[in-house]
Structure 1
Amino acid sequence: MSYSLIKDKHSSLTAIINNYNGQLISLNDGKDEFMHQGGRDKTDPLRNTEGWPNSDLIMFPIVSASKDNVIKYGPHLYPMDQHGIVRAMRPFIKSDESKIIVKYIYRADTKIDNSLRHKKDPKNPEEMSLPFSFDMEIEYAVDYKLLHTSITVKNISDVAFGYALGKHPAFNSFTDDPKKGRFLDDEDMVIMCSDEFNDDVELNLENLMEISKTGAKVLKNQSCAIYVHKNNRITVNSNLGDIMLWSPSKNLFCMEPITGKAKKGTLVDLSPNGTYKNVLNPGEAKRYNITIDVI
């Protein structure tokens, strides 16, 4: 096992990154573990894959799935699994006492192995590739009860491309027994709020589990989502644009900042005038910010 850890000097909040897959596998305030444990190393006795075998994913350059598990760029088609290519890449990790930096480097036409997911479902491509190059840097830092995350994507190509970006943290939904989990009661909910905090909508997580049987709940133009149980809460804020909610099982739920998501069944076109409104021109970099507040 190879993990990187940062801890706030003024509180007990710690964050841990799995150096192998780049996933945020732990956010712990000394009393509670907030992250689902699916992304830990296979040899780690704390690993728990019930519901989802990950703790966190970076979704890029697509969010959700493209029709027939391929994407289009210009006249050509390229194999692409759900949520994109970064989830299958190995990261480069740097860390010190105050921050952890996770970096992904992709160069055009490099084949990325996806055989593990292909073995689970032959519909998933065995390899993935893209016709353009990019660098992605994710920086984590803790500040009292906040985890700050910045994601910077830079186009290293001489061509422009469209993209969607998302972060897919999975949180523990148990409140009493972390080993057994606990079915969500009426006091467990997600509150969606706009930038103006107007017209807030409350969604019981039991209902979210029912919605998640056929897909995720996408909240357009939302900057934050809040999980509330009694006097405890987890708040996710971001400037990505939308929030996606998903709960595959009673022991976990996801509050996922995304830049956007194509309609189900869309053949995603990453050409500059294609499916997504977000475009990176040659040499251009864009930065996004996410905070997770566990007060």
Structure 2
Amino acid sequence: MVTLEHLDQSVTIHEGELTSYKVKGYEFMHQKGEPGWGNTDTEMFPVIGPTAGAEYRVQVPKGNAVLDQHGHLRELPYVLEVQEKQRAVYTKEYKAGTLVSNSKYPKRSRAPKLIWPFSFRFEKKFHLGNEGLKITFAVSGERDMPYMLGYHPAFRLRSPDARVVGGGKSTSLAEVMAAGDRALEIPETEDLVLEDEKSIGVSTRGFGNFMLWSPTSNMICVEPVTFYPYAVEQTALHEGFRYLDQPEATFEVSLIPNIKS
């Protein structure tokens, strides 16, 4: 367990997962064991969205890609590289063609093993500063590797009137829940504000889009994504790929709380 502290803020990270973000004692993050989702955050990589309808196959320029929903990065363990008072850095590495056991098999998936034909390194860096918590992702690996990236944080809700504001509209929790497991798309947007009992901004760089998901009224996921996967059929998921055309691609997510004393 890693704890970051700065001013009146505290962050807890467990094996690379953001499990708590408190400001003046106010918890913004959904907690494991509460109704809804079983996590607090995760990453979606190198694909976003379901793959079962395509028999877990994703079209790539070379080799075979067998991936479950949201990719296989979440099946790999994080390694803690740096731990300081305000900063922590975690990494994951994958070698092309390595078989990875699928934790969803057999209860929630028909794919026992996952495989990806490209090597990559994935870095997740936390920095707690004056304005809030910045999370930076860095993807490096084989040139022209196809990929999508999504960040999947879950926020605790207190008010039935909670709303997400941004992308030219104000979206109610009821609208998000009505979208179901497909999630609600907020396209071409870099910044959203979750308005609840206390508000928090989610400001991003590099993703370009959001999707919103909530299975229950006590939490909501505000997810920056490079691609909204339900824009295409599962057999055409490859249409949403970006390609690694530089040594490293970086993405930022800043959680900016608005708490008045």
Specify the code of the residue in structure 1 equivalent to 2:235: L
In structure 1, the residue matched to 2:155 is 171
> Partner residue of 1:51?
36
After superposition, give the CA deviation of every residue in 1:39-73 in whole Å (9 maximum; x if it has no partner): xxxxxxxxx15211111011111111233322122
Residue in structure 2 matched with residue 100 of structure 1 by the alignment: 88
The answer to whether the 8 Å contact 1:167/1:257 transfers is yes
Offset at residue 265 of structure 1 (A) = 2.8
Give the match for residue 189 of structure 1. 163
Is the aligned partner of 1:29 residue 2:17?
A: no
Identical pairs, percent: 23
1:214–1:99 CA distance, 2 compared to 1 (3 A): closer
CA RMSD of aligned residues (A): 1.8
Unmatched runs of 5 consecutive residues or more in structure 2: none
Does residue 1:205 correspond to 2:168, yes or no? no
Matched to 1:227, the amino acid is L
- Give the secondary structure class of the aligned counterpart of 1:7: strand
CA 1:49–1:251 in structure 2 vs 1: closer, same or farther (change >3 Å)? same
Range that drifts further, 202-211 or 241-250 = 202-211
Distance 2:218 2:50 in 1: 24
1:13 alignment counterpart: 9
Partner secondary structure for residue 207 of structure 1: helix
Q: Which ranges in structure 1 are unaligned for 5 or more consecutive residues?
A: 39-47, 175-183, 194-199
Asked whether the equivalents of residues 64 and 116 of structure 2 are also in contact (C-alpha less than 8 Å), the reply is no
**Segments of 4+ moved more than 4 angstroms:** none
Letter in 2 for 1:250: S
What residue in structure 2 maps to residue 111 of structure 1?
A: 99
Supply the AA of the counterpart residue of 1:164: M
Whether 2:47 is the aligned partner of 1:62: answer: yes
State TM-score, norm by structure 1.
0.80
The question of 1:293 aligning with 2:256 is answered yes
Deviation at 1:17, TM superposition (A): 1.2
Distance 1:127 1:50 in 2: 29
The count of corresponding residues between Structure 1 and Structure 2 is: 253
C-alpha distance in 2 between matches for 1:136 and 1:219: 26
Letter in 2 for 1:292: L
